[in-house]
Amino acid sequence: MASQQHREVEHEITVAAPAPAVYELIAAVENWPRIFPPTVYVEQVERSARDERIHIWATANGEVKDWTSRRILDPGGLRIDFRQEVSAPPVASMGGAWVIEALSKDESRVRLLHDYRAVNDDPDSLAWIDRAVDQNSRSELAALRTNVELAVGDGADLVMSFEDSIRVDAAAKDMYDFVNEAGLWTERLAHVSWVSLVEKTPGVQILAMDTQTKDGGTHRTESVRVCFPHHRIVYKQTTLPALMTLHTGVWRFEEDDAGVLATSQHTVAINEANIATVLGEDAGAPQAREFVRNALGANSRATLGYAREYAESRR
pLDDT of residue 31: 87
Strand order in the sheet with 51-60: 6-15, 107-118, 91-104, 79-86, 63-74, 51-60, 39-47
Tell me what percent of the residues of the chain surpass a pLDDT of 90: 83
End-to-end CA gap in the chain: 65
Residue type, 185: W
pLDDT-derived band at 1 (thresholds 50, 70, 90) equals very low
Average pLDDT over residues 197-226: 91
Given a cut of 90, whether residue 216 has pLDDT beyond it is: no
8 Å CB contact between 226 and 235: yes
**pLDDT tens for each residue of 296-306:** 999 999 999 99
Neighbours of 286 (CB within 10 A): 9
CB burial readout 211-240, b (16+ within 10 A) else e: bbeeeeeeeebebbbbbeebbbbbbbbbeb
Give the separation between CA 294 and CA 300, rounded to whole angstroms: 10
**pLDDT tens for each residue of 82-124:** 999 988 899 999 999 999 999 999 999 999 999 999 999 999 9
Bridge partner residues of 289 (DSSP): none
**pLDDT tens for each residue of 224-242:** 999 999 999 999 999 999 9
Average pLDDT over residues 57-75: 92
8 Å CB contact between 303 and 264: yes
Classified as helix, coil or strand, 289 is helix
Q: How many CA atoms lie within 13 A of 144 on its CB side?
A: 31
CA 94 to chain centre: 21
- What structural domains does the chain harbor? 6-152 (3.30.530.20), 156-313 (3.30.530.20)
Torsion of Cα atoms, 148 then 266 then 137 then 58, to 10°: 150
The string of DSSP letters for 136-180 reads HHHHHHHHHHHHHHHHHTT-GGGEEEEEEEEEESS-HHHHHHHHH
Apex 184 CA angle, 183 and 186, nearest 5: 105
The β-bridge relationship of strands 79-86 and 63-74 is antiparallel
Crossing angle (nearest 10°) for helices 172-180 and 285-313: 120
What separation in angstroms does the CA of 202 have from each of 83, 185, 205, 229?
A: 25, 19, 8, 11
Helix (H) or strand (E) holding 309: helix 285-313
Closest CA to 16 of 125, 152, 141: 152
pTM across the whole model? 0.87
Bridge partner residues of 100 (DSSP): 110
Give the separation between CA 49 and CA 141, rounded to whole angstroms: 26
